[in-house]
Amino acid sequence: MAYVVTEDGTEIFYRDLGTGKPVVLIHGWPLSGDSWDKQTNFLAEHGLRVIAYDRRGFGRSGQPWSGYDYDTLASDLNKLLEELALTEVTLVGFSMGGGEVVRYLSRYGSARVSKAVLVSAVTPYLLKTSDNPDGVDPKVFEEIEENLRKDRPAFLNEFGPKFYGRSVVHHTVSEPVLEWTQSMALTGSLRSTLQTAKSWSSTDFREEMKSITIPVLVIHGTSDNTVPIDASGRRSVKILPNAALTEYDGEPHGLFLTAADRLNEELLQFVGGPREPISTPVLS
């Protein structure tokens, strides 16, 4: 298995698949890089080099006590890009991962990055405050923390269906997918799950987003009840100087699965990969 070691000695696990233009996929909370399976496979099959890594505290990466703020997480991403000597990268951040994309670009610039995609991202600022009246009530995040501390497996079990917009009537994903999601989420430690929740729920990206001038594609589902589009996607595209918004009508938060085919095609088009699948194996 492949790892990079961060500035504080934390091992970050990554998968590096295919050849061609590099795409780095940054997963959401509280999952791991495996959540991108449909995207990594599709994009690599279509002639792109795809790197998906596990955020510190989750998946196969190390689980340190500290370092779950966005400055450190962006530093981890920077270490990965430097270690693999990547240039002309397209960064793709889902949910919490969108914050890493923004913080990386605002701190390290775009010398290595040509484009970015924010999918169901938490940007620009989720928390409701006096100067952010359209944000999410702090009580929502307080309840998340309380329930995680009380019974994390039970909380995650209830979180999964909401994440994918699954109900008795709308089977957007299967029961095995929910079990798979639960198993991914439980690879994280309680500490990392709590601390990263504080980061994505309370970090204000509004000012730094104004400095990001590379092309940014914002993708968001109109039925996202986890990160509501009005508080996130529709606001992000107004702040970013060079952004476009694609709204997925009726799609929930976890659209990387519920709308995987559409997302895959849109990512391929945005990155600029070959339109037809390549005929040779892509694993490297």
Q: What is the DSSP string of 29-71?
A: TT--GGGGHHHHHHHHHTTEEEEEEPPTTSTTS---SS--SHH
**pLDDT tens digits, residue range 189-202?**
999 999 999 999 99
95 catalytic per annotation: yes
Going by DSSP bridges, is the β-strand pair 113-119/48-53 parallel, antiparallel, or unpaired?
A: unpaired
Q: How many CB atoms lie within 10 A of CB 90?
A: 25
224 catalytic per annotation: yes
pLDDT of residue 120: 98
Q: Which two tokens stand for residue 64?
A: 């340190």
pLDDT band at 1 (very low <50, low <70, confident <90, very high): confident
CB 16 within 8 A of CB 86: no
- Angle between helix 190-202 and 96-108 (nearest 10): 70
What are the φ/ψ torsions at residue 114 (nearest 5 degrees)?
-105, -30
Residue 192 belongs to a domain: yes
Residue 183 belongs to a domain: yes
Provide the domain count of the chain: 1
Rounded Cα–Cα distance for residues 217 and 235 (Å): 13
User: Would you say residue 279 has pLDDT above 70?
Assistant: no
CB 87 within 8 A of CB 110: no
Full residue range of the structural domain in which residue 66 is found: 2-271
Rounded Cα–Cα distance for residues 227 and 135 (Å): 10
Sign, CA dihedral 265-214-230-197, equals positive
Residue 113 belongs to a domain: yes
pLDDT band at 278 (very low <50, low <70, confident <90, very high): low
Residue 276 belongs to a domain: no
Name every residue whose Cβ is closer than 8 Å to that of residue 45 and which is 6 or more positions away in sequence.
18, 277, 278, 282
Which residue do the tokens 């919490």 mark? Answer: 96
**pLDDT tens digits, residue range 104-150?**
999 999 999 999 999 999 999 999 999 999 899 999 999 999 999 99
What are the φ/ψ torsions at residue 160 (nearest 5 degrees)?
-55, -55
Please provide the DSSP assignment of 244-257 as one string. Answer: EEEEETT--S-HHH
User: Would you say residue 273 has pLDDT above 80?
Assistant: no
Q: Which two tokens stand for residue 71?
A: 């400055």
pLDDT of residue 274: 72
Catalytic residue among 27, 75, 224, 232: 224
Q: Does this model's pTM top 0.75?
A: yes
* CATH code of residue 104: 3.40.50.1820
261 catalytic per annotation: no
Q: Which two tokens stand for residue 282?
A: 């892509």
User: Would you say residue 281 has pLDDT above 60?
Assistant: no
pLDDT of residue 276: 72
Please tell me whether residue 169 adopts helix, strand or coil conformation: coil
Mean pLDDT of 258-278: 89
Rounded Cα–Cα distance for residues 282 and 51 (Å): 12
Mean pLDDT of 145-161: 97
Residue 83 belongs to a domain: yes
CB 178 within 8 A of CB 166: yes
pLDDT of residue 284: 45
Catalytic residue among 95, 120, 201, 236: 95
Please tell me whether residue 110 adopts helix, strand or coil conformation: coil
Residue 207 belongs to a domain: yes
Residue 153 belongs to a domain: yes
Beta bridge partners of 118: 93, 218
Provide the 8-state DSSP code for 1: -
pLDDT of residue 35: 98
Q: How many CB atoms lie within 10 A of CB 225?
A: 12
CA angle 201, 25, 14 (to 5 degrees): 105
Q: Residue 156 to residues 64, 162, 180, 183, 238: CA-CA distances in angstroms? A: 22, 10, 12, 10, 33
Share of the chain above pLDDT 90, in %: 94
Sign, CA dihedral 142-147-149-152, equals negative
Provide the 8-state DSSP code for 45: H
Residue 232 belongs to a domain: yes
pLDDT of residue 255: 98
